[in-house]
Structure 1
């Protein structure tokens, strides 16, 4: 495998391009993990692939007494959603699946961590996690049991001037209604009509919940991920798979009760993959460190909350440490056919991260 000199901008750009070129769908991250470990070893890290398949690189700077008093985890992810976008560097932009979500952030983590002069007593770990794009979040769930950081930075696109403080929660629903076949002329409708009626009830619930909540982050946001009807000649059925983006402090018990009450005979509704919403403070030491670094670079910081979810939802409730999400790129390009990362945004994010890591104490 090629190795890249991460202390130069050219090396950082070539490293990012190679990272994007290696396919890494959720559950298929072995090749990219091996590449990351090889590169981190070449750049002075102690690096390895852990038992979950995550790529982990560690650097330490003990204090005068040989002690480590502060641990920082930079948690990015290696996996991508499907979609083949030919990788190319064109007019200062790198195109390719994962360029924004979120290999750009992960590459910036590795480069900045390699360059940073760590404060005495510090240890940092860069983690390229597996299966962030899947509902499993396998990598983050493994990492949360093996580190207890004082600070955590999640690798997700915020733009180099942006600091992400929160993500909505998530709940997935699998709905199925089945009933005996009958002639279409018989009043009452078939399984499809029953399923659509139930979905309309759900939308009424959502509209009532959102009525007094003007901010998207505080609303309940549903989406249909899959819908199918079928028949075997004796029974017909409808199956729906729904995703719900949840606001902070969502009353799961009340909603689960509504699901029970709204499900009639022949209907099964399964809820799963729940993650609570998370929102942190702009006055935390970590958020302030980013604020200072961005201002020193001549820009006005912007604070964001996202309507999606990330590995922040998994680790923040357990670690309880100051945490933000940060990385180059426009998140509006996540998962799109036009996904691309502006190279100047990437290089500027590396500088911000390097400043934060050097000064965080």
Structure 2
């Protein structure tokens, strides 16, 4: 793996920030296997004389000034992308912000998690030690948000403000995420000859899902953020082992816009069920939409302008740990971090280090203003 070149014009602080990022990306941390990366993050805080520990869920906790809680996730999705730093023509570098990388060439870090979300994670850690803000690196965000859910239950008091780390581009501020409901449809019917006209369980599953899709079908011009998006994830069906029945199961997810609640979406989908079928709903995350006029959003707009940027206000069609925090804490929050979110989970995931530097500067300024 290539080392980050600090050069003669880079400050020591910038070099340290880049080194932390490269180290974190260089340590694989697929969900449920985050420990080694968590230990590296813990070491970074120890080297800056900060109180820090790894809690029972595997989160890295570095409490300090709760005027701001900086948090991002340690885990990544699977995928082997050789970790390296390369110098490339600027035009070949994905730039998460509204402009292009400066200059003719740019240093680029390749590796799984460079964008989602170790770029945001490292920038949060650096800003925390520079400003004295509280920090938590959470686990499990890519699967079930078990880290953030543990934090909600374990903390005695909520912070005054939350900055959640996900790629928004250095000049972007994410204010909203859709919610999520997920479950498993289950149906059973008596076995019989295929010449019979009655529906079997497989047909019931197909019909139920077709009704759900029709219910939430919208005009193609309606923004995705404002739609319910139903998606089947897995389907299985056939004769039972004893040959006496036909069984069908279907794992489904529906993304929920802020105009609806997860309960409303479940009620609608359950309305198309027959007596012999059901859905076991096992995951519910409420949507979130923050005002652009909160003190946190204002602090970021000012910090981005200070770096000669034009702030962009974003709404994301997926979900994040911000949904979990917003459901339980009544404090202002935004999501922010370097990187082009189109590269999330992608085979060519990479982050320009110039953009990372800008994000660290923006984050540090915004945090100082809030503290």
TM-score normalized by structure 1? Answer: 0.88
1:223 alignment partner in structure 2: 231
Structure 2: 5+ residue runs without aligned partners? 89-106
2:18 alignment partner in structure 1: 13
Say whether residues 1:77 and 2:85 are aligned partners: no
Say whether residues 1:128 and 2:137 are aligned partners: yes
1:89 alignment partner in structure 2: 85
Say which is worse superposed, 156-165 or 234-243, in terms of deviation: 234-243
Rounded Cα–Cα distance in structure 2 between residues aligned with 1:325 and 1:251: 21
1:54 alignment partner in structure 2: 59
Say whether residues 1:172 and 2:182 are aligned partners: yes
2:125 alignment partner in structure 1: 110
* 1:270-290 deviations in Å (ceiling 9; x for gaps): 123111111111111111111
- Structure 1 residues 192, 296: CA separation in 2 closer, same or farther (over 3 Å shift)? same
Q: How far did residue 254 of structure 1 move?
A: 4.3
2:98 alignment partner in structure 1: none
Q: How far did residue 211 of structure 1 move?
A: 4.7
Q: How far did residue 88 of structure 1 move?
A: 2.0
Structure 1: 5+ residue runs without aligned partners? 61-69, 119-123
* 1:174-199 deviations in Å (ceiling 9; x for gaps): 11222232233333353322211111
* 1:245-287 deviations in Å (ceiling 9; x for gaps): 1011415444433344322243121123111111111111111
Give the aligned length.
340
Rounded Cα–Cα distance in structure 1 between residues aligned with 2:41 and 2:209: 44
Question: Matches of residues 202-241 of structure 1 in structure 2 within 5 Å?
Answer: 202-207=212-217, 210-211=218-219, 214-231=222-239, 232=241, 233-241=243-251
Say which is worse superposed, 228-237 or 37-46, in terms of deviation: 228-237
Contact 1:213-1:219 within 8 A present in 2 as well? no
- Structure 1 residues 280, 228: CA separation in 2 closer, same or farther (over 3 Å shift)? same
Contact 2:70-2:135 within 8 A present in 1 as well? yes
Question: Is the partner of 2:216 in helix, strand or coil?
Answer: helix
Contact 1:33-1:55 within 8 A present in 2 as well? yes
Say whether residues 1:194 and 2:194 are aligned partners: no
2:164 alignment partner in structure 1: 154
Question: Matches of residues 317-356 of structure 1 in structure 2 within 5 Å?
Answer: 317-356=327-366
Rounded Cα–Cα distance in structure 2 between residues aligned with 1:345 and 1:334: 16
Say whether residues 1:184 and 2:162 are aligned partners: no
* 1:46-70 deviations in Å (ceiling 9; x for gaps): 111122210012345xxxxxxxxx5
Contact 1:46-1:57 within 8 A present in 2 as well? yes
Contact 2:262-2:285 within 8 A present in 1 as well? no
TM-score normalized by structure 2? Answer: 0.86
- Structure 1 residues 150, 94: CA separation in 2 closer, same or farther (over 3 Å shift)? same
* 1:113-153 deviations in Å (ceiling 9; x for gaps): 2233x5xxxxx211110111112x22112222414211110
Contact 2:179-2:262 within 8 A present in 1 as well? no
Say whether residues 1:41 and 2:70 are aligned partners: no
Question: Is the partner of 2:52 in helix, strand or coil?
Answer: strand
1:67 alignment partner in structure 2: none
2:308 alignment partner in structure 1: 298
